[in-house]
Amino acid sequence: MSELLQKLQWRYATKKMEPSQAVSAEKLEHILEAVRLTASSSGLQPYEVIVVTNPEIREQIKPHAWNQGQITDCSHLLVFAAWDNYTAERINMMFDLVNEERGFKNEGWENYRQMLLNTYPQRDAETNYQHAARQAYIGLGSALIAAAYEGVDSTPMEGFDPAKVDEILKLRERGLRSVILLPLGYRAAEGDWLVNLKKVRRAKNQFVSEVK
């Protein structure tokens, strides 16, 4: 088995974390960088990651996240927050950045910009948010793999009230909406009902099919 697959076997949605153990700044940086380098539709990166370490804020979030203990027992709580809409300003910001970083303008790229400008801002905000949230999930996938690679435990969480988290973190004011939470930390030595259970996945032949 490849080294990466071994690490993916090792990872699981950790149910109990050890509050005294913190993820190092270096490992955190590697995980965040993996998310930043993740592919996104048209390269718009229409989401941000908020790293919550503040204990009081995490205590405030916990009751709105099914009282899941990892929220306060992790060392870093990542909040994936998607753009609430695609605006011309946001689209131009990314296209201008690409031009600036690459140092030239490309006609095909500029035509593509116009195509997006003529399409996305005209759609309703909810449709655009849903599209942006899907990109955030791709980032979540990268974070899960990167955390496992670094030997860091994590728990992807949809079990929370996004409206409350938005309020606590004042995300709507920033044009963001929380999509998913990812506590990072280390599995507790005791008290995790899932840690020793077999990882269960459908057999490959029920999951992958070929068209030859």
Ligand X SMILES: Cc1cc2nc3c(=O)[nH]c(=O)nc-3n(C[C@H](O)[C@H](O)[C@H](O)COP(=O)(O)O)c2cc1C
User: % helix / strand / coil in the chain, to the nearest 5?
Assistant: 50, 15, 40
Query: Cβ 190 to ligand X, closest distance in Å?
Result: 18
Options 44, 143, 157, 171; binder of ligand X; rule CB under 6 A = 157
- The pair of structure tokens assigned to 196 is 């020793």
Packed helices 88-102 and 107-117: angle between N→C axes, nearest 10 degrees: 170
In degrees and rounded to multiples of 5, residue 82 shows phi and psi of: -90, 155
Minimum CB distance to ligand X, residue 14 (Å) = 8
Per CB under 6 A, does 4 bind ligand X? no
Q: Min. distance of Cβ 205 from ligand X in angstroms?
A: 20
Two structure tokens written together for 197: 């259970």
**Beta carbons of 15 and 70 less than 8 angstroms apart:** yes
Assess 80 for contact with ligand X (CB under 6 A).
no
Interface with ligand X (CB under 6 A), residue from 43, 159, 163, 189: 159
Under the binding rule (CB under 6 A), the answer on residue 12 touching ligand X is: yes
Q: Report the SS3 class of residue 59.
A: helix
Helices (H) and strands (E) in the chain, counts: 8, 4
Q: Which residue, 17 or 44, has its beta carbon nearer to ligand X?
A: 17
**Closest distance between ligand X and the C-beta of residue 121, in Å?**
28
- Residue with Cβ nearer ligand X (43 or 63): 63
| C-beta of residue 152 within 8 angstroms of C-beta of residue 27 | yes
Residue 156 lies near ligand X (rule: CB under 6 A) = yes
In angstroms, the CA 20 to CA 26 distance is: 18
* Residue 47 within binding range of ligand X, rule CB under 6 A: no
Q: How far apart are CA 30 and CA 27, in angstroms?
A: 5
Which one among 158, 163, 189, 191 touches ligand X, defined by CB under 6 A? 158
Q: Which is nearer to ligand X, 62 or 113 (CB)?
A: 62
Binding residue count for ligand X, defined by CB under 6 A: 11
Residues in contact with ligand X by CB under 6 A are 12-13, 15, 68, 155-159, 180, 199
